[in-house]
Amino acid sequence: MRVLLVGNGAREHAIGEAVVRSGGELYSFMSARNPGLAKISKEFAIGNIHNPEEVSKWAAGRNIDVAIPSPDAVLAAGVSDALVASGVPCAGPVKQAARIEWDKSFARNLMREAKIPGCPKFGIFENAKEAAKFIDELGEVAVKPAGLTGGKGVKVTGYQLKDASEAKKYAKEILESKMGGIPSVIIEEKLIGEEFTLQAFVDGKNVIGMPAVQDHKRAGIGDVGPNTGGMGSYSDSNHLLPFIARSDYEEGIKIMKKTVSALAKKGADYRGFLYGQFMAGKKGVKAVEFNSRLGDPEAMNVLAIFNGNFVEAVEGVANGKLSAKASAISFERKATVCKYLVPAGYPENPRKNEKIELDEKKIVGVGARLYYASVDERDGIIYTGSSRSAGVLGIADSIEEAEKIAEKAIGFAKGPLFHRKDIGTKQLIIKRIEHMKQLRRSGGS
Q: What is the pLDDT of residues 118-169, one digit of tens each?
A: 999 999 999 999 999 999 999 999 999 999 988 789 999 998 999 999 999 9
Query: Looking at this protein, which amino acid is placed at residue 169?
Result: K
Helix (H) or strand (E) holding 144: strand 141-145
Is 251's pLDDT higher than 60? yes
Average pLDDT over residues 401-420: 98
Q: What is this structure's pTM?
A: 0.96
Q: What's the pLDDT at 326?
A: 93
Q: Clarify whether residues 258 and 203 are in a common domain.
A: yes
Q: Clarify whether residues 180 and 200 are in a common domain.
A: no
pLDDT in tens, 369-390: 999 999 999 999 999 999 999 9
Q: Clarify whether residues 240 and 169 are in a common domain.
A: no
- How far apart CA 342 and CA 334 sit, in angstroms, is 26
CA-angle at 318, arms to 248 and 306, nearest 5°: 50
Which CATH number characterizes residue 42's domain? 3.40.50.20
Q: Clarify whether residues 367 and 403 are in a common domain.
A: yes
Sequence-ordered alpha helix ranges (H) in 23-94: 35-40, 52-60, 72-76, 79-85
Query: Which domain range does residue 230 map to?
Result: 195-429
Q: Clarify whether residues 217 and 324 are in a common domain.
A: yes
Q: Clarify whether residues 146 and 217 are in a common domain.
A: no
Question: Of 310, 321, 306, 204, nearest to 257 (Cα)?
Answer: 204
pLDDT in tens, 282-319: 889 999 999 999 999 999 999 999 999 999 999 999 99
pLDDT in tens, 13-60: 999 999 999 999 999 999 999 999 999 999 999 999 999 999 999 999
171, 132 Cβ separation under 8 angstroms: yes
Q: Please, which pLDDT band fits residue 443 given cuts at 50, 70 and 90?
A: low
Domain-located, residue 48: yes
Query: Looking at this protein, which amino acid is placed at residue 392?
Result: V
Residue partners of 130: CB distance under 8 A and separation at least 6: 123
Is 444's pLDDT higher than 80? no
Q: Clarify whether residues 203 and 130 are in a common domain.
A: no
pLDDT, mean over the chain:
96
Residue partners of 45: CB distance under 8 A and separation at least 6: 28, 29, 30, 58
Domain-located, residue 436: no
Domain-located, residue 211: yes
User: Please, is 177 exposed, middle or buried when counting C-beta atoms within 10 Å of its C-beta (0-12, 13-18, 19+)?
Assistant: exposed
Q: Clarify whether residues 183 and 210 are in a common domain.
A: no
Question: Of 207, 295, 286, 189, nearest to 244 (Cα)?
Answer: 286
Residue where one domain finishes, among candidates 145, 167, 189: 189
- How far apart CA 96 and CA 259 sit, in angstroms, is 14
Under DSSP, is residue 375 helix (H, G, I), strand (E, B) or coil?
strand
Q: Clarify whether residues 233 and 163 are in a common domain.
A: no
Domain-located, residue 107: no
Which CATH number characterizes residue 266's domain? 3.30.470.20
- Cis before 145? omega within 30: no
Q: Clarify whether residues 221 and 206 are in a common domain.
A: yes
Domain-located, residue 115: no
Residue where one domain finishes, among candidates 165, 189, 213: 189
Which CATH number characterizes residue 126's domain? 3.30.1490.20
Q: How many domains does the chain have?
A: 3
189, 140 Cβ separation under 8 angstroms: yes
Q: Clarify whether residues 7 and 153 are in a common domain.
A: no
Residue where one domain finishes, among candidates 94, 112, 146: 94
Dihedral pair phi/psi, residue 157, rounded to 5°? -65, 140
Buried b (16+ CB within 10 A) or exposed e, 339-367: bbbbbeebbeebbeebebebebeebeebb
